[in-house]
Amino acid sequence: MDAQSRGRAEGADPADQWVLNPRTGDYELRLDGGAPPPAPSVPRQRTPQAPGPRPGGPRERDPGPRDGDDDTAPDGPRDAHRRKRRQPKRSGRRKALMWTGGVMGLVLVGGSAFAYYWWDRLGGNIDTVDIGDVGSATVLGDGPANILVIGNDVRTGEGNEAYGNRDNVTGHADTTLLFHVAGDRSNATVVSIPRDLMTEIPDCETRQSDGSTKTIPGSEGRTKFNESYGVEGRDPGCTMRTVEQLTGLDVDHFMMFDFNAVKTLSTAVGGVEVCLEEPLKDTSGGTKLDLPAGKTTIQGEEALSFLRNRHGLKNESDLDRIGMQQKFVASMLRRLKEDTLGSPTKMLDVADAATKSLTVDQAIGSPGKLLTLAKELGKIDLKNITLMTLPVIDNPDEPRPVTVVPDPAKAPQVFSMLQDDVSFTEVKKQKKKAKDKQDALLKGARAEASAVRVDVLNGGGPQGAAGETVTWLQNSQGVSRSANQGNAPAKVSRTQLVYAPDQADQARKLADLMGLPAAAMKPTAEAGGDAPMTLTLGPDFTKAGVPVATPKKVDVPQSRADEKMCKA
């Protein structure tokens, strides 16, 4: 017997098995599908009480027979008269209580039925992956959170062979969204990471089925981002590490869906509305996609074809497809919030459809934890959810570019705003919040400049930046114990200062001198002793003596989740 049918009569709806018992006024679970015990033919009466307030507060339920009562006595004039006198009370306060109880009963029935019949089923649907020490052990902390949503292009499932290699049994990180949730839950930013982005994939520790740990070597130089999952046995934790190295953000959790999720979810919500300026037809023959111009509601196989299609788009590129995917996601979010959340039946369908195709990290691998996460995300108004694509340029290393690389000017600015928890929709409010956070982090004693020990490396700044900075620190700022260590082993997304807890006074002093924001400060857990701090200059560093600041805004294409594809 599966979790869905456990404890229920065959063919019975779960909600129908919760029935009102007229004896007690409570809802009871009838697993055999039977009716509740019949009500007595004659309602039991209380001994008349004197007018005035009832002792002990509100009226209590009848405790049952008392001495002198005769339940078997035939109805007579006295009984009929007694029932007639009680009728006005039943149609007044009693009737109101019954209506209120009925409404509350529906709520309780929905919740109880969901918990009893669906909790185990949803839990059984969810797959989890042990990603080791990457990510967070809690669902959501008090501060900002970053969730990686991975669209896996595995071809398993009915009809999915039309989209490519049917032997692709592990898949790759085909569609990846970085979901940044603000610390105050007032806004969120969704950044699409192109699958053809050229980036470095770090070494990755993965947990094997036998419990052992295996380190999978990273890429030699830059490779396509989508190879951060699936290739050489890389798990979603490897994709999380790749995003952390790329963005400078700590990724807390991942959620991975496959092709089937698009089909089942779009169907569960009753279809997703899309809008096209021109007809869209797949001329490659891979799918049967054929959509007219204007509004169309799509679901199932047609929805997946829409998201996978590149033919008929402006450049027939992955970047064009990302733009369509973002609009589809926004339209689905609106559908969920405006229609599905108000229907318990639809919510069950959506939850079942989502969890059947869902893989997550163990920290959120249960219905209860996912519900907690959903409640937090549900606090965000759609108008404050920004969708964008990571700013990129054509790969300069390719004579005829087919891949892309991060925009050297705009990408670091986007990462900087996310690291400082600056909203793309409420910049002024969040800027103050980020400043308050910086003031709190840098509050405390400062060391003398002569006591600051720091190694300076260039991790993406202008050529010669490390040497120039050391010269400036020694000659102009009195930091005589600074040293140029040349290029960093790997590039960083932004300038960062790594220091030990017992070096906090030195770090604050150097931050004052360099104009470093709070997000650049990276304290470690171990004592530093006589070892120097490490300052790695990133793309946000322009020149020695010029503060490293978080931008107020970035000029990149973006949209809001409340914007409809069809304006009219």
pLDDT of 83 higher than 50: no
Distance CA 468, CA 475 (A): 11
For range 493-520, the mean pLDDT? 89
Better-scored residue on pLDDT, 129 or 564: 129
Reading the block at residue 545, the tokens are 């003596």
pLDDT of 161 higher than 60: no
Please give the pLDDT value at position 169.
53
pLDDT of 78 higher than 70: no
Reading the block at residue 343, the tokens are 């229907």
Please give the pLDDT value at position 134.
92
CA 264 to chain centre: 19
Return the minimum-mean-pLDDT range out of 336-340, 362-366, 477-481.
336-340
Using alpha carbons, list the distances in angstroms from residue 375 to 185, 274, 336, 436. 11, 27, 13, 27
Distance CA 388, CA 177 (A): 10
Query: For residue 204, what is the enclosing H or E element?
Result: strand 204-207
Exposure string of 448-483, with b = 16+ CB inside 10 Å and e = fewer, is ebeebbbbbbbbbbeeebbebbbebbbeebebebbe
Number of residues that this document lists for the chain = 568
For range 227-236, the mean pLDDT? 92
Please give the pLDDT value at position 354.
78
**All domains of the chain in start order, with CATH:** 1-38+77-125 (no CATH), 128-424 (3.40.630.190), 432-537 (3.30.70)
pLDDT of 5 higher than 80: no
pLDDT of 345 higher than 80: no
Q: Rounded mean pLDDT of the chain?
A: 75
pLDDT of 306 higher than 90: no
Better-scored residue on pLDDT, 7 or 291: 291
Please give the pLDDT value at position 372.
81
Please give the pLDDT value at position 82.
40
| Percentage, residues of the chain above pLDDT 90 | 27
Please give the pLDDT value at position 271.
87
